[in-house]
Amino acid sequence: MRAIVASFRFLTRIPVPGPETRVEDLAWAVGWFPLVGGVVGLGTSAVFFFALRLWPATVAAVLAIAFGLMLTGGFHEDGLTDATDGLGGGWTRERILEIMKDSRIGAYGSMALWASLTLRWACLVALDRKALWLLPLAMVWGRWSVCLILRLLPSISQGLAKEVHKDLKWGAFALATALLVLANALAWYFGLRSIGRIGLAAIGTTLVWVIYLRHRLGGHSGDTLGAGNQFAEAAALLAMLAS
């Protein structure tokens, strides 16, 4: 229970009651990341679904995305902007990490954030009412990708990502994978037959990101984990829309 509470407190702004979260709770909290993604996705898509009753899909999608950002505090989007600023503007690992620590958003981060949010908006509009159960699945894949990156790369940061990585066990990764399988099984039950294509897109994108990070940085940081989440989620949404 401490791990579940910690996962929601770590990834969202949702006020979850319970015992105080300790740093050591975060390693097992990783196992519940896909659950958090599913809940955030359900909340976001529910707002989209009900907003469709009053406004066009283009407006409803903006309101839904804004609500989703309120739920998470733009946690992963912040990582995306910092990671792309650092990787786009730095040539050495030291300089890249230095740029990532800067709270200001640069040109690379602004472009990446615009592309990410615009793509999410376009996918919501295209999915229409199917987004009610497809968006949560995409966000489950996105949060699971964080677990995969944690398993495949060493930590090079000095923040919470390093503490999480230090105590991370295979059991947490197994739990996250079990939740991912459950989410895909439910999607299959409700008629989604492109599970394989979606999984291939999300996993393939994550592995490409892992290879790139190994080459540029030799490991992961908290910001690159957030960016990886955004890439995997976007890949899953695009695979859902591919004919």
Per residue of the chain (243 residues), give pLDDT as tens. 789 999 999 999 999 988 888 877 888 899 999 999 999 999 999 999 999 999 999 999 999 999 999 999 999 999 999 999 999 999 899 999 999 999 899 999 999 999 999 999 999 999 999 998 899 999 999 999 999 999 999 989 776 666 676 667 888 999 999 999 999 999 999 888 899 999 999 999 999 999 999 999 999 999 999 999 999 999 999 999 995
The per-residue pLDDT for 18 is 83
Dihedral (CA of 198, 200, 6, 114) sign: negative
The pLDDT score that the predictor gives to residue 25 is 80
- Name residues whose C-beta falls within 8 Å of residue 141's C-beta, 6 or more positions apart in sequence: 37, 180, 198, 199, 202, 232, 233, 235, 236
Provide the token pair at 57.
């899909």
Q: Give me the amino acid identity at 154.
A: P
pLDDT at 163: 67
Query: Who's near 107: CB < 8 A, 6+ residues apart?
Result: 85, 88
Residues in the chain: 243
Please, what is the Cα angle at 222 between 234 and 199, to 5 degrees? 30
pLDDT for residue 243: 59
Q: What is the pLDDT of residue 209?
A: 98
SS (H, E, C) the chain: CHHHHHHHHHHCCCCCCCCCCCCCHHHHHHHHHHHHHHHHHHHHHHHHHHHCCCCCHHHHHHHHHHHHHHHHCCHHHHHHHHHHHHHHHCCCHHHHHHHHHCCCCCHHHHHHHHHHHHHHHHHHHHHHHHHHHHHHHHHHHHHHHHHHHHHHCCECCCCHHHHHHHHCCHHHHHHHHHHHHHHHHHHHHCCCCCHHHHHHHHHHHHHHHHHHHHHHCCCECHHHHHHHHHHHHHHHHHHHHCC
Phi, psi of 220 (to 5 degrees): -120, 160
- Residue 136's pLDDT is 97
Nearest to 133 by CA among 53, 191, 77, 206: 191
Interatomic CA distance for residues 127 and 240, integer angstroms: 9
The token pair at 122 is 């376009």
